[in-house]
Amino acid sequence: MLARLTLALTIAACAKAQQDPRQLYLRATELQRAGDFEGAVLEYRAALVLDPSSVPLRSNLGAALAHLGRYSDAIAQYQAALRAAPAAIAPQLRLNLGLAFYKSGQLTDAAREFDEVHRLQPAELNPALLSADCYLRLGELDRVISLLTPLAAQQKAVTVLGAGANPAPGVGDRATVLVQADGTRLAASKGRYLIQVWINQQSSLQAHEIAVKVVARIR
């Protein structure tokens, strides 16, 4: 009888451990670090059944889903996490949400999230550059300039383009434009301003055309 009772208690303890959201969370993070994102998703979802209000669980689940390219699901998890997140971690969650929108081609939504992160953390350069990239793709060049000019004036957007950068013709005396050889980066300068913009998946010719439009709007 004692042996049976001990066995029953052991089984109950093991079952309880398996249903502990903390253990499921640890297992999920191990799987995520090992590159098993599908397995991590299953573990995070199991943990959320037991602890649906956990911000770290939803945030990590969103990251795993985003890595798998399941951006709609990732967006839903980041949004749910934001509703319960403390103010201290909300900007990072919102940045991740913006990236999920960005990678799924929802540029207007992505720009909105990046703008809010920039408002909350004005000293951080990356949200402003990401937002500017969204507006550049949307053709809202005035918003690109309004975002980047203050950063350039503070010398926060100035970086070395490298040996592959060459002057782009066709901009007259208004400014100097450098377009990197792979067409992914341009810098437009006028007077004391130097504005750098990332242009993803653009040819060098397209980068030059955009550069001319950007320079024309520098005040």
Whole-number Å distance between alpha carbons of 17 and 79: 29
Query: Residue 186's beta-bridge partner residues?
Result: 179, 197
Q: Which residue has the higher pLDDT, 216 or 181?
A: 216
Per-residue model confidence (pLDDT) at position 89: 93
Mean pLDDT to the nearest integer, 86-115:
95
Burial of 145 (0-12, 13-18, 19+ CB in 10 A): buried
The per-residue pLDDT for 125 is: 79
For residue 44, what pLDDT is reported? Answer: 94
In the prediction, which pLDDT does 212 show?
61
- Amino acid 6: pLDDT: 47
- Write down the pLDDT at residue 213: 65
pLDDT interval class at 216 (50, 70, 90): low
Read off the pLDDT band of 29 (50, 70, 90).
very high
Looking at every residue in the chain, the average pLDDT score rounds to 75
Average confidence (pLDDT) over 192-200: 50
Q: What is the pLDDT of residue 209?
A: 62
To the question of domain 1-125 being in CATH 1.25.40.10, the answer is yes
Domain ranges of the chain: 1-125, 139-219
Q: Residue 164: its pLDDT value, please?
A: 41
40-66, pLDDT tens digit by residue?
999 999 999 999 999 999 999 999 999
**pLDDT at residue 93 above 90?**
yes
Q: What is the DSSP string of 24-71?
A: HHHHHHHHHHTT-HHHHHHHHHHHHHH-TT-HHHHHHHHHHHHHTT-H
Burial tier of 100 (Cβ tally within 10 Å: 0-12, 13-18, 19+): buried
Query: What integer pLDDT is reported at residue 172 of this predicted model?
Result: 42
Q: Residue 208: its pLDDT value, please? A: 56
pLDDT of res. 104: 95
Q: Report which of residues 18 and 85 the model is more confident about.
A: 85
Q: Quick one: pLDDT at residue 206?
A: 57
Q: What is the pLDDT of residue 102?
A: 94
pLDDT(17) > 90:
no
